[in-house]
Amino acid sequence: MNDDQTLEQALLRQGVSRRAFLKYCAALASLMAMPASAAPALAEGLAKARRPAVIWLSFQECTGCTESLTRSFYPTLETLIFNMLSLDYHETLMAAAGFQAEAAREAAMARNHGKYLLVVDGSVSTGLDGSYSTVAGHANVDTLKRAAQGAAAIVAVGTCSSFGGIPKANPNPTAARPVSDIVHDKPIINISGCPPIPEVITGVLAQYLTFGAIPELDEHRRPRIFYGNTIHDRCYRRPFYDQGKFAKTFDDEGARNGWCLYELGCKGPTTYNACATVKWNEATSFPIQSGHGCLGCSEPDFWDKGSFYKPLSTPTWSDRAPLAAGAVGGLALGVAAAAVARHRQKRITEEQ
């Protein structure tokens, strides 16, 4: 495989015409919410781009992110893998296995040292020297450190690699950590979500490819273009929120009328993701459209932020014993204070 070909050359060789490419760029621009007039410039940039080698490492994860990626409708995974990137190592998707696969990774890393894009899904276990999660006898944490050395940038796909995700949920038995806790000297792009929206994964990769630079990131290192707004800000149920019309249960009148799901625990107001705009499954729908509140899956520690079904404005705890204790304590103090006061009053009266 010739990594020095431009993308245009590689595509032509594979029988993808220039018009098809232009069309692809129009779709990409639309997906990335760029002005439609930017599509030709995008095409020009992409055509000249070199196909970067990609090494994909999977750590403590459920493969949901890769599953999500393979459901990306545009660009299809095939076009992405075979045309746009040179995916040299992905345990789930590649044919090679065992020593052959390890060798392929080492070779790709050596050949593209300093230039390849490292994609990581899954959190990094650091407990017991990383021995909770190993591949081919190497702890994930060591593999990551090694692979990161030669990477131009790292893309953390999914909430697990971005923020630790479910493996890091209380009590975090494997001492799971996000990639950004382990690697400090490389640019990192987090594409969070559990899983992330497939078009967002491909969109970010395509954007990196096109402009050869890290996109503008938010404070959690997520690309602003997809994570710039909360679900709530783009939610089509928002007018109901503003009118104070809420579904109180999942099957009441309000739920049938499609009213806001805030009372049912929707975390849309504090969740930054593109679900409400890009949507899921070929833009068919997204969780809120299907009648379920947002879980906040693209936010750090979404698993440990209280019940998914408790409204955002309510306590994360439900034990009211401390409150009762406070009241009882207050009562005791009050009675004692009154007793002391009465005692003193009596003494003063007697002295008079």
Partner 1 sequence: MDLLSFARGPALQWALVIFLLGVVWRLTGILLLGRAPDYSEPRNAPAWPGAFKLILTRSWPKREFAARTAFGETMSYVFHIGLAIVVLGFAPHILLIQSLTGLSWPGLPTGLVTLSAALTAGALAVLLVRRLMHPVLRLISNFDDYFSWLVVMLPVVTGLMATAHAGPRYETMLAVHILSAELMLAWLPFGKLMHSFLVFVSRGTTGALFTRKGAAL
Partner 2 sequence: MSGLADIGVRIVAAQDGLSGNGHALIHELDKRLERLAEQGATDAIDLRGLPLSAADLQMLEDFLGVGEIEARIDALGLTRVYETAYAGIWRVTYYSEDGKVVADVLEVTRQPGIITTPPGDVADACGRLREALGDLPPLPGRSTNNCEAS
Per CB under 6 A, residues contacting ligand SF4 are 193, 231-232, 235, 237-238, 241, 260-262, 266, 268-269, 271, 273, 275, 286-288, 293-298
Q: Based on the shown chain and the rule CB under 8 A, indicate whether residue 259 belongs to the binding site for partner 2.
A: no
Site residues for partner 2, 72-131, by CB under 8 A, read: 73-74, 76, 79
Which residue type is seen at 76?
T
Q: Based on the shown chain and the rule CB under 8 A, indicate whether residue 228 belongs to the binding site for partner 1.
A: no
- Minimum CB separation of residue 300 from ligand SF4 in Å reads 13
Out of 3, 5, 6, 27, which residue is the one contacting partner 2 (CB under 8 A)?
A: 27
Out of 7, 10, 29, 80, which residue is the one contacting partner 2 (CB under 8 A)?
A: 29
- Minimum CB separation of residue 223 from partner 1 in Å reads 16
Q: Based on the shown chain and the rule CB under 8 A, indicate whether residue 184 belongs to the binding site for partner 2.
A: no
Between CA 172 and CA 163 the distance in angstroms is 13
Out of 24, 246, 259, 280, which residue is the one contacting partner 1 (CB under 8 A)?
A: 246
Site residues for partner 2, 267-296, by CB under 8 A, read: 282
Q: Based on the shown chain and the rule CB under 8 A, indicate whether residue 8 belongs to the binding site for partner 2.
A: yes
3-state DSSP of the chain: CCCCCEHHHHHHHCCCCHHHHHHHHHHHHHHCCCCHHHHHHHHHHHHHCECCEEEEEECECCCHHHHHHCCCCCCCHHHHHHHHCEEEEECCCCCCCHHHHHHHHHHHHHHCCCCEEEEEECEEECHHHHCCCEECCEEHHHHHHHHHHCEEEEEEECHHHHHCCHHHCCCCCCCEECHHHHCCCCCEEEECCCCCCHHHHHHHHHHHHHHCCCCCECCCCCEHHHHCCEHHHHCCCHHHHHHCCECCCCCCHHHHCCCECHHHCCCHHHCECCCCCCCECCCCECCCCCCCCCCCCCCCCHHHCCCCCCCCCCCCCCCCHHHHHHHHHHHHHHHHHHHHHHHHHHHHHHHC
Q: Which stretch binds partner 1 (CB under 8 A): 69-77, 94-102, 209-217, 295-303?
A: 295-303
- Minimum CB separation of residue 233 from partner 1 in Å reads 8
- Minimum CB separation of residue 192 from ligand SF4 in Å reads 9
Residue 14 site contact among partner 2, ligand SF4, partner 1, none (CB < 5 to 8 Å, cut-off depends on kind): none
Q: Based on the shown chain and the rule CB under 8 A, indicate whether residue 266 belongs to the binding site for partner 2.
A: no
φ, ψ of residue 339 to 5 degrees: the values are -60, -45
Residue 37 site contact among partner 2, ligand SF4, partner 1, none (CB < 5 to 8 Å, cut-off depends on kind): partner 2
Site residues for partner 1, 250-289, by CB under 8 A, read: 262-263, 269-270
Q: Based on the shown chain and the rule CB under 8 A, indicate whether residue 76 belongs to the binding site for partner 1.
A: no
Q: Residue 338: how many CB atoms within 10 A of its CB?
A: 10
Closer residue to partner 2 in complex, CB, 15/114: 15
- Minimum CB separation of residue 129 from partner 1 in Å reads 27
Closer residue to ligand SF4 in complex, CB, 186/234: 234
84 closest CA partner among 20, 40, 35: 20
Angle at 98 between CA 147 and CA 183, to 5 degrees: 15
Site residues for partner 1, 201-220, by CB under 8 A, read: 219
Q: Which stretch binds partner 1 (CB under 8 A): 6-14, 44-52, 131-139, 313-321?
A: 313-321
Residue 60 site contact among partner 1, partner 2, ligand SF4, none (CB < 5 to 8 Å, cut-off depends on kind): none
Asked whether the beta carbons of 57 and 143 are under 8 A apart, the reply is yes
* Residues in touch with partner 2 (CB under 8 A): 8, 16-20, 22-24, 26-27, 29-30, 33, 35-37, 39-40, 73-74, 76, 79, 251, 253, 256-257, 282
